[in-house]
A and B are shown apart, each in its own frame.
Chain A
Amino acid sequence: MAAAGLGFSGQLMPALARQRRPAPDFVDPAALRPRPKVRIDAAFLEMPRPYWLGWPGTTYDLDRHQAEYRGRLRESCQRLGIDLYEESAPIQADAGVASLIQGVHQRQPDALLVILQHMGCWGWTERLARDARCPLLIFAPIGTSFTGHVAGISRRPGVHLISSLDWSAVEDGLRMIRAKRMFEESRILWIHGDKRNETVLDRLGAKIRATPRDTFNQLFDTMPVNEEVKDVASALRRRAKKVVEPNWQDCLNAARAYTTAKRLLADEQAHALSMDCLGMVGAKLVPTPPCAAWTLLQDEGITAGCEADLHGATSMMLTSYLLDRPGYMNDPVAETAKNLLIAAHCTSGTRLNGFTKPQAPYILRDHSESSLGVAVQVLWPVDTPISLIRFSNTNELIIDTGRVVSNVDTPPAGGCRTSIEIRMDRVEDARDVLGFHQVVTLGDHRRVVEGFCQLMGIRVVHSPEHSAPATA
């Protein structure tokens, strides 16, 4: 249990983690990530056999394909922790569709997945979208549709349609349902102001527990320098490509901020946080900004957002829950000489390719605005695609994509420690990029994020492709 319990230390120092018993008050970060029950119903839709003319054609081996897709579906569900209910036999008639709908109403799954096996089945999908009363995933393997079949229903809220042979796209659809459930099971600790209350977000269903800002610094003051803190501080330094400003005490404080955050999350039954960190630093309530602690949490799949920006935090949760990778909330800057966008902040996850993937190199710096504590300059891989994601509110999300051009050092630049130049796709002028505190994540995830939003009834917005001329 010791190894399993030391989440962060376990990842960075497996030998140490195996040797040491966790402290009684140790908070396992893995337990802070929501693990909702996710249930999917699945059914094949086909026409009465044998097939004669019409797509997918007489040569299409129905039994072989269905066996293959059943196997893949079971594997995906097992990988994603989804409970699967399968209709045992393919549905071939209206009565079967009615029975399927009735069963879905009784079982109330989180989504219904139908796999089409004939072009004649599209009328049933309309009925299912209307009557199933749950999100509908439609997988139409190539050979079961023309553009006309999918153009309308694929854009309907509450529906995600995959017309492809690429099973990973189906698994993306399952991830969307899992992400939806993870949001619904999440509680965000909103550490700011002096009020304590709890509310729930529209559409996402995540609970927001407002907690007075002093809660954090008061708990931080009592947080001991225990073995976990020393382990974390040590690993933070040792894994760094370079340490510039922070000394050992700074790293201990950063690790204490990390254990403070974990303790607070556990005490409040919360799974993510967003804190008025700048206000806290400005009032000199803590000796270190939480930047490095937030990096550690981000790498463990625990959203830790800056500046009590709630929708910044929900945007980070989206990359975590849907894409299994950290997001990097940032301040957008226009680089007008090169027409690039610079995304800058003093914290970023390092496991950019995924929570189970290797860390990106990073340099330990201080928090540039205050010259306090530990912040990280994560060196993002150059010439790789990224996505910029931002909930304007829970009814609207901005998504754009681009490529990393370079990492920006401070100095010569001012501003935040992690800073990357991005060449935007489909945006003529970087000055026009929408949003603030957008969340950058590695990879082009535009289609998946758009699919999630459609399922959730969230409007998607993109930055304008062309600049409108300014007027006096």
Chain B
Amino acid sequence: MNTILARHSSRGAHSSNPSSTPRSATTLGVRLGLALLLSFGALAEVALHSPGLPPSRMDDQGRLVEDWGAVGIRLTGEGLATDQGVTVTEVKLDGHIPAAQARQRLGSIACALTAFRAPVWPSGLDVLTVAVEETSGHASACTIALDLPANVRVGAKTVLQGGRPILALPATPRVTERTRDWGYRDDAVSLPGWARPEGACDPAFRNIRAGLGGVPIEYRFNVVPGAAFNVVLGFCESHWAQSGQRPVVCRLEGAAPQEIDPIARWGQHQPGAVLFAAKDANGDGCLDLAVLPRAGAPDLNPILNVIWIFPDGPPPALDRVIAGQSTIQALRHVDVGGDKDQSLHSAGLIEYELALPPNGRQELVFLVACPGSSAPRPDQTGWTVETLRRAASEVWRDWR
């Protein structure tokens, strides 16, 4: 199996910047070996649109170009033929949905990217289907990697740019999971400077991560299997002034869950902290923590400001922790949502490995934010590929 180069290696040749000029296939071929890009031999550029909504396009390299950047696909695999060029054409789905299709044949594997605009309220959503098909009658396998702008962050189910989800990922398990020794592993967003803590306190209280749309905030730390710790979570609520609005539930591995209402405990703009006796209870060498919305809460967007991990033993004095005077004793201090906060996924590379039986076919579907829209988190939407297509079909059928 050939190795997909990290994004930085290929960016010069296959930039996610829509305005960049692609280099020649020969130059790229030298660098990538058998890694094959769908971005060569392009013939056309096709607009994607829906009645009354601003368009996006599939460019002549087969990339979907949106207001946030572009998404492309790279296909690699053992023994795949060299790139024979991509053909981008305009097609009609169901007879009347305008769509763009990029086709490429890589020896025995035929690959097609099909994109159409689903008229999802309020601003639409582009649906990108990647279909690979084995055509020689022999079992095969391939790897599909997404090519995305450098400034995105890969979450559990979505890809975000800033606070905007730009891509919803299929449920198919990803194969590349290079991870750091700690980091967030969620679909929440970082909001530096959001909080206005009053009084002397650790400066990390100023920053948060927020699970907009009710998504949990989740962190993982590599630890010695079975180890125990004193974990302190810091909160500072600066939006609500009244209690009961944004209670959260904290789940730390090895500790009993606790419900925290920062306003009820400490008040608006007041930094506060809660201690947990946590432990790698399942012995997998990871300590997991999550902050979730309390079911039925008026505000379902959980927040978290600071994490301290202290050694097991006598618990630290929380007033000193809040003041930042115990940070030096911490094994780990996380300024949640701050400059040094980080994703657990080190490279942010998104790859899928697909096994293709003789004459078999597999599909991956990505929901892509189009101008003015955000991609939905898969578990927070009722949309399916079928209903998105039906919506497009019905809107085009009746539009005049």
A434 at the interface (CB under 8 A from B): yes
Mark out the residues of chain B between 115 and 138 whose CB falls within 8 Å of any chain A CB in the assembled complex.
Answer: 118-124
**In the complex, A470→B263 CA distance in Å?**
9
Secondary structure at the B interface, as helix, strand, loop or mixed, is: loop
User: In the assembled complex, which residues on chain B have CB atoms less than 8 Å from the CB atom of A196?
Assistant: 52
Mark out the residues of chain A between 169 and 224 whose CB falls within 8 Å of any chain B CB in the assembled complex.
Answer: 187, 195-203, 205, 207-208, 210
B199 at the interface (CB under 8 A from A): no
| Closest Cβ–Cβ distance, residue A357 to chain B (whole Å) | 33
Contact between A471 and B242 (Cβ–Cβ < 8 Å)? Answer: yes
Contact between A200 and B51 (Cβ–Cβ < 8 Å)? Answer: no
**In the complex, A456→B243 CA distance in Å?**
31
**In the complex, A471→B266 CA distance in Å?**
9
| Closest Cβ–Cβ distance, residue A448 to chain B (whole Å) | 20
Please name the residue on chain A nearest to B247 by beta carbon. A468
Contact between A471 and B243 (Cβ–Cβ < 8 Å)? Answer: yes
Contact between B263 and A471 (Cβ–Cβ < 8 Å)? Answer: yes
Given A195-B52, A197-B51, A464-B244, the answer on whether A202 and B382 have CB atoms closer than 8 Å is yes
Mark out the residues of chain B between 346 and 400 whose CB falls within 8 Å of any chain A CB in the assembled complex.
Answer: 376, 380-383, 387, 391, 394-395, 398-399
Please name the residue on chain B nearest to A467 by beta carbon. B244
User: In the assembled complex, which residues on chain B have CB atoms less than 8 Å from the CB atom of A469?
Assistant: 243, 264
User: What 0/1 readout, one digit per residue, does chain B (244-280) give for beta carbons within 8 Å of chain A?
Assistant: 1000000000000000010110011000000000000
Contact between B243 and A199 (Cβ–Cβ < 8 Å)? Answer: no
User: In the assembled complex, which residues on chain A have CB atoms less than 8 Å from the CB atom of B119?
Assistant: 197-200
Please name the residue on chain A nearest to B123 by beta carbon. A199
- Contact with A197, one of B52, B264, B376 (Cβ below 8 angstroms): B52
User: In the assembled complex, which residues on chain B have CB atoms less than 8 Å from the CB atom of A395?
Assistant: 380-382
User: In the assembled complex, which residues on chain A have CB atoms less than 8 Å from the CB atom of B268?
Assistant: 471
Give the size range of B's interface with the partner. Answer: 20 to 34
User: What 0/1 readout, one digit per residue, does chain B (30-58) give for beta carbons within 8 Å of chain A?
Assistant: 00000000000000000000111100000
Task: Choose among A198, A434, A461 the residue with the greatest number of B CB atoms under 10 Å from its CB.
Answer: A198
User: In the assembled complex, which residues on chain B have CB atoms less than 8 Å from the CB atom of A464?
Assistant: 244, 296, 298
B241 at the interface (CB under 8 A from A): yes
| Closest Cβ–Cβ distance, residue A188 to chain B (whole Å) | 10
Please name the residue on chain A nearest to B270 by beta carbon. A471
User: In the assembled complex, which residues on chain A have CB atoms less than 8 Å from the CB atom of B395?
Assistant: 198-200, 207
A457 at the interface (CB under 8 A from B): yes
Contact between A202 and B120 (Cβ–Cβ < 8 Å)? Answer: yes
Please name the residue on chain B nearest to A458 by beta carbon. B382
Given A205-B391, A207-B395, A456-B382, the answer on whether A199 and B120 have CB atoms closer than 8 Å is yes
Task: Choose among B50, B122, B268, B380 the residue with the greatest number of A CB atoms under 10 Å from its CB.
Answer: B122
- Contact with A468, one of B118, B243, B383, B391 (Cβ below 8 angstroms): B243
Given A200-B121, A395-B382, A471-B264, the answer on whether A207 and B242 have CB atoms closer than 8 Å is no
User: In the assembled complex, which residues on chain A have CB atoms less than 8 Å from the CB atom of B244?
Assistant: 464, 467-468
| Closest Cβ–Cβ distance, residue B196 to chain A (whole Å) | 15
User: In the assembled complex, which residues on chain B have CB atoms less than 8 Å from the CB atom of A468?
Assistant: 242-244, 261, 264
| Closest Cβ–Cβ distance, residue B361 to chain A (whole Å) | 21
| Closest Cβ–Cβ distance, residue A180 to chain B (whole Å) | 11
Please name the residue on chain A nearest to B394 by beta carbon. A207
Please name the residue on chain B nearest to A462 by beta carbon. B296
What residues of chain B have their CB less than 8 Å away from a CB belonging to chain A?
50-53, 118-124, 241-244, 261, 263-264, 267-268, 296, 298, 376, 380-383, 387, 391, 394-395, 398-399
In the complex, 24 of the A-B residue pairs with CB atoms within 8 angstroms, ordered by the A residue number, are A187-B398, A197-B50, A197-B51, A197-B119, A199-B50, A199-B53, A199-B121, A199-B122, A199-B123, A200-B118, A200-B119, A202-B382, A203-B382, A205-B391, A207-B394, A207-B395, A207-B398, A210-B52, A394-B382, A462-B296, A464-B296, A471-B243, A471-B267, A471-B268
A197-B50, A197-B119 known; 14 other A-B pairs, CB under 8 Å?
A195-B52, A197-B52, A198-B51, A199-B119, A200-B120, A207-B398, A394-B382, A395-B382, A434-B298, A457-B382, A464-B244, A469-B264, A471-B242, A471-B263
